[in-house]
Amino acid sequence: MPARSRDTILVINAGSSSIKFYLYDIGAQRELTPVLGGQLDGIGTQHPRLRVRDGDGQPVLERQIAPRHASDVNDAQEVVGTWLSGHLNGSPIAIGHRVVHGGTAFSAPVLVDDQVLEQLRALNSLAPLHQANNLAPIQVIRERRPELPQVACFDTAFHRSHSALADRYALPEQLYQEGVRRYGFHGLSYEYVAQRLRRALPDIAPGRVIAAHLGSGVSACAMVNGKSVDSTMGFTALEGLPMGTRPGRLDPGIVLWLMERGMSHDEIQHFLYHECGLKGLSGIGNDMRELQASDDPAAVMALDYFAWRVAEGMIGLGCAMNGIDAIVFTAGIGENSPDIRARIASYWEWLGIRIDPERNRHNGPRISADDSKIGVYVVRTNEELVIAQHTLDLVRPA
């Protein structure tokens, strides 16, 4: 690896099945340039793999990891940490982390100390798929390198611009006061999309935009002038649109029914976070590409359900803005699947929305036809860059 003279920021995104890491050079004008990106995926499976690429996307390393060394995120972070300490040219000036839930206390990125860590741990049950995994590397790095600044960046923070009404459920006030609110998630992704629109599509950025993050998790966000006014996700990342392994909208009566059948809290939690969505509907898996390649009727039905309910949920956000000026797709499915985008948009023809097949096939940026009443776009998200920017701003204010 070449010697580096500049300061760097490390970004860590630790999830239940993968740990992703990115290193950014800090330029003279505070511009952040990726110099390294990697991920250890397949945590908890028989085939964990560590892959690293340089700043140009060229492979640096691809290695199978023994399953016993990546049985959970705690093991896996040792593998990643050992590789990083052997290959980084000096210490980063700070580490930025993706943390899913900031609760009511955190509406902006924060420097982590013991008290902050404690407050964030108290939110674990609100994001059982993510929060504990997000916090695991923060804890270990604090123990080993207490002098190294660490910044937590929240998926909920971007949505704190919601009105009190948008944050409500139709529940008694007491529960709202206790924090039972519609927090919204994927905020780091939407923040990047808003930033990107300002730079690349300045005519659209000030308007009323519905952005849809269609990845493993799936949600949509209503933004006015780059500020979130509503989200399909709520108290936890279960609500809203169908996802890879989560159902999205669900009659709470179903949860009661499962309880009556004798399922415990932990069983229901596992079921809702890991066994539903595309995986549950298809009985095959949660990977969109796998389902698209299958002619199994259950896979076909899973895609039909996905397209319909995503289309419905996205367009419903228009009520929060009294109209829609533009629609943006992002994340793994949103950026890469012309077929799913076209299927979703087919539910909007009554609104005069038309997709141009050729533009769609090329993944945009504009995929709508010239005569479409509303412009439809694809924007590649970059949550890591947003985390790196926030981290730099906190540890070295401009």
Residues whose CB falls within 8 Å of the CB of residue 394, separated by 6 or more in sequence, listed in order: 94, 109, 110, 111, 149, 151
Least separation in angstroms between CB 143 and ligand ADP: 28
Residues in the chain: 398
Q: Are 18 and 73 in contact (CB under 8 A)?
A: no
Backbone phi, psi, residue 156, to 5°: -85, -20
Q: Are 6 and 36 in contact (CB under 8 A)?
A: no
Residue number with CB closer to ligand ADP (53 or 87): 53
Binding to ligand ADP in span 283-342, by CB under 6 A: 287-289, 331-333, 336-337
d(CA 220, CA 215): 11
One of 215, 280, 318, 375 touching ligand ADP (CB under 6 A): 215
Return the active site residues.
Answer: 155
375 binds ligand ADP (CB under 6 A): no
- The amino acid sitting at 170 is A
Q: Are 77 and 14 in contact (CB under 8 A)?
A: yes
Residue number with CB closer to ligand ADP (245 or 394): 245
386 binds ligand ADP (CB under 6 A): no
Least separation in angstroms between CB 337 and ligand ADP: 4
One of 134, 216, 236, 382 touching ligand ADP (CB under 6 A): 216
Binding characters for ligand ADP, 337-366, by CB under 6 A (x = yes): x-----------------------------
Q: Is 116 exposed, middle or buried (0-12, 13-18, 19+ CB in 10 A)?
A: middle
336 assigned binding-site residue: yes
Q: Are 278 and 291 in contact (CB under 8 A)?
A: yes
Least separation in angstroms between CB 291 and ligand ADP: 8
Least separation in angstroms between CB 290 and ligand ADP: 7
Question: Residue numbers of the site for ligand ADP (CB under 6 A)?
Answer: 215-217, 244, 287-289, 331-333, 336-337
Summarize the annotated binding site as residue ranges.
13, 20, 98, 213-217, 287-289, 332-336, 383
